[in-house]
Each structure stands twice: as structure tokens, then as C-alpha cells.
Structure 1
Amino acid sequence: MGVKKYPAIEGSILEGLSRILGHTDYGLTGSEIGKFLPEVGISDIDSTNTKWKRLYNAFVTHQNQNKVSNNILKFIIKAISPARYVGRNELFEHIRTELNKRLSFIGLEYKANGKFTSATRTNTISEAEQKANRLKSKLESRNAHSEIFKYCKAELLVENYFHTVFEAVKSVADKIRQKSGLTGDGSELVDKAFSIKNPLIRINDLSTETKESEHKGFANLIKGVFGMFRNTTAHAPKITWEINEQDALDILSTISLIHRKLE
């Protein structure tokens, strides 16, 4: 069986890929470009140019001669190999995300395992942004609980940190109501559900003081999340309660832990 031939990549997409790979702040170094181009059979025809233009000119010339993009994709696999980014996962995910925004226009996705896979072709910028959403990708890399995605799917796709946190925290109250049969909310709901004398939900058998302390601590953690995040987001305008990406990741990771304990 012959090697699959990938069609030539449109010039504007090729330029976008080159700009990411040769980005001044986080892209490949000049020496790395000089090393990987010949290793995948692409001539380094413009080695004195800026990094992204050097890559673009090499890619375009090779593609014009061969009419396929196979070697360009090989370059990405070799240059952005997961093994090269051990200890630099944030950087790897950022580059992969930016590449996938461009690759989505040709129906390809570069996976975290360093391989390409077919993907639904996108036709608009907003579709590409949603498809390669940074926040969702980072939550997946943290193995966040499925409930986070169930309640926040729409918000995650548009990277709305404010409403992502709001909806995710609400999911904890929903889960407690489902498991306890209660209909309350907030601290009152938590106190009734996790009562030591008559617990409707327990995270251990409460047979020792240590286990009782763990149970109480978990209940207090939930009440703290409600008080700090849900109540704040419910009453504060978005413009006055800003959540950046790192804050959102940390909050959502805490909520993920709560969901795992509730199970």
C-alpha cells in the first residue's frame, strides 16, 4: 500500500503555519529550522531571511515542485514532537493549539501524541477558534472531570472564563441535590447533605475523628467555592470580576476534584 498523499496547502494557511513555527517569542530557533528542514527533505533555500519567511519560502518552493504537502507535515511532526517539549507542556499545547486553528481549514488536527488525524473542515475564523480552544485543551490535559465539560461546553468553546466558572460551580450544587434528594441551595444545602449526625452524602465511613475531619473539610471546601466564586459571579458584573485563563484553570480543577469526591 502506498503512502497517503496530502494535497498542497493553500498559501494563506501555509503562511499562518510558518508564522507559528517561526514565531519570535516561542517558535523554533534558526538552528532548529536549519536542522529539521533537510531532515524531512525540504531545501533551506532562504536561510538568511527572518524565521517565518525562511520557512514559508522553503515550504512553498518544495510544495510547488512536488504538488503535495507530506514533507511539510513531516516537518511539523519532527519539529513539534512531544518528546522535545518534556517539561514544557504549556508551550507545546500553545503551539499545537495555534497550529490546529490553521490546520482546521484543511481538515487536519495535530494531536497531543504527535500525530495527524482527520478533522471536520472549518470555514470561518470563529469555527477554527472554537475547535482549537486553549482552555478546553488545557482542561483535557489535566484530565478534568466530565461534569466540567457537560455543564460548560458552550462557554468553553468561546473561552468565556466568567460564565465557565459560574456554570461549573452551579454543577456542584446540582450534583449534591441529585445525590441527596434535597432541594435547597448554598451553605444550607451543604450543611444538610454533609451533616455528621445524619449525612445524606458521605465521602468516607466517618468511623474515626480523622475521617470526620476529612468529611467536614470537604463540606467546607464546597461552601468556600460557593461563597468565593458562585456568589461573586452571580452578583458582580463581568467587567468588575475578571477571571484570566490561569484563574479559570485552577478554579475548574478544584471543581473537578469536588466532583470526583462526590462520586
Structure 2
Amino acid sequence: MKPECCAHKYTKKRLFLLLQFQQPVIRERTGLDKDGSELVTETFSLQRPILVVSTLDTESGRNDQKGFIQMLLGIYQGVRNPKAHTLNMNPSQNVAAQYLVFSSLLCRRVEESILL
């Protein structure tokens, strides 16, 4: 086996694991036993949030919270779910690195969010 193949499989595995990482962190912080969009929308709801990433007293803060919900839903629905349910997960190293950076940002914001 060529070294590039090993590196690619390693990147692929890391990518898949990191794309799943936000959910256990959210569950641990909230005590909710939900998954995917249900977990995200209940946790970061504008009406009765459990975690907030920004002040909800201003339109800008509410937009930040809504945008964060949409980013989490997007990474689950547009990246993680399709890749988890197919064998077609072969991103280039550049694309994998971009997903890793984006997912890392989401993880950081979940960890830094305020528990209400």
C-alpha cells in the first residue's frame, strides 16, 4: 500500500469522527438524549434555548444564534449524514482540511456557549 493511501484513510477517519464530535459535547452540556437536527434545534432554540452562543437581547445576537443553528444543521445534513450513509467519502486532502477547520470552529463555539 502506498503511503498516500494510508494518509488519505487517516484523514477520512479523522474527518468523519470530528464531524460527529459536536453531538456528544452538546448532549453532555445539556443532558438531552437526542440526535441531529432535533438536538440542535432544541438546544439552541431562540424561544427557549439551553445553550446560547450570543446575546439574544439584540437582533444581531439572535441572528448569530440562528446562523449557528443553520451551520450545525448544514454540517450534519449536508456533510456528515450523506457521508455516513454512503461509501463515497473520498474528499481531497484540501477539502478534508477545510471540513476539519469548519468542524473545529463549531466545536469551539459549542464548548464556549453559555448554559442557561
Query: Which one of 50, 67, 91 corresponds to residue 217 of structure 1?
Result: 67
2:44 is matched with 194
- The alpha carbon displacement at 1:159 in A equals 4.0
Which entry has the higher C-alpha Rg, 1 or 2?
A: 1
Structure 2 stretches of 5 or more lacking a match?
none
1:259 is matched with 107
Identity percentage of aligned residues:
29
Structure 1 stretches of 5 or more lacking a match?
1-128, 135-156
- The alpha carbon displacement at 1:158 in A equals 4.5
1:229 is matched with 79
2:56 is matched with 206
Matched, 1:175 2:8: no
Bigger RCO (CA 8 Å, 6+ sep)? 2
Kindly report the root-mean-square deviation, in angstroms, between the aligned alpha carbons of the 2 structures: 2.0
Give the TM-score of the pair, scaled to structure 1. Answer: 0.39
State whether residues 194 and 202 of structure 1, in contact with CA within 8 Å, keep that contact through their aligned partners in structure 2: yes
State whether residues 170 and 230 of structure 1, in contact with CA within 8 Å, keep that contact through their aligned partners in structure 2: yes
Q: SS where residue 45 of structure 2 aligns?
A: coil
Name the amino acid aligned to 2:90. Answer: E
Q: SS where residue 53 of structure 2 aligns?
A: coil
Give the TM-score of the pair, scaled to structure 2. Answer: 0.84
Deviations 1:122-141 (A, max 9, x none): xxxxxxx6xxxx9xxxxxxx
C-alpha distance in 1 between matches for 2:29 and 2:8: 30
State the 4+ residue runs in structure 1 displaced beyond 3 angstroms. Answer: none
Q: SS where residue 65 of structure 2 aligns?
A: helix
